[in-house]
Amino acid sequence: MTIHPILRYPDPRLAAPCHLVEVFDEELKSLVQDLLETMKAAPGVGITAAHIGISKRVSVIALDPGEPVHIHINPQILWSSTDRQRFIEGSVAMPGMTEEVDRPAKIRFRYQGLDGVAQEAEADGFLATCIQHEVDQLDGVFWLKRLSRLKRDRLIRKWEKSAR
């Protein structure tokens, strides 16, 4: 297991859509373990292969230490509720920067497990927000795009100032 360096905003690779995973092998399992270790070290609750510069549709989410890790290969949102919810979001690619984001409260999504078997599931609450956040990243949509222009510009200025 390896802890990888995480790309930092505004690295253009964070804005590129990731490629579908077609091979489900030991290399993929190793990538998932590396993502988990990298996420824990960051620290964060979610990470994608894109965050470490690998253009594959792989995400890992670990909300609580005692709960199972959510591993999603080729995730895709199928449906989202009209009910909305707000949670504070951030990114391992922009440590220390957070803002409240409004998203659908419940989703249905399709993904593959490490064995390549397709599955469908529903999620609500914070898990639904995390899945949407990571699927956005895999689609090349950095979380800042979900903010109003005013909030986004303010956060970017704060980020640029902290980077100096």
What's the half-sphere exposure (Cβ side, CA atoms, 13 Å) at 113?
A: 6
Element counts in the chain: helices (H) and strands (E): 3, 7
Q: Please check whether residue 86 is in contact with residue 125, taking contact to mean a CB–CB distance below 8 angstroms.
A: no
In the numeric block, which tokens belong to residue 85? 């919810």
- Residue of 67, 99, 134, 160 marked catalytic: 134
Show Cβ contacts of residue 5 under 8 Å, excluding neighbours closer than 6 positions: 52
Q: Is 134 in the active site? A: yes
DSSP reduced 3-state for 49? helix
Q: How far is CA 70 from CA 19, 62, 162, in A?
A: 20, 6, 32
Catalytic residues: 134
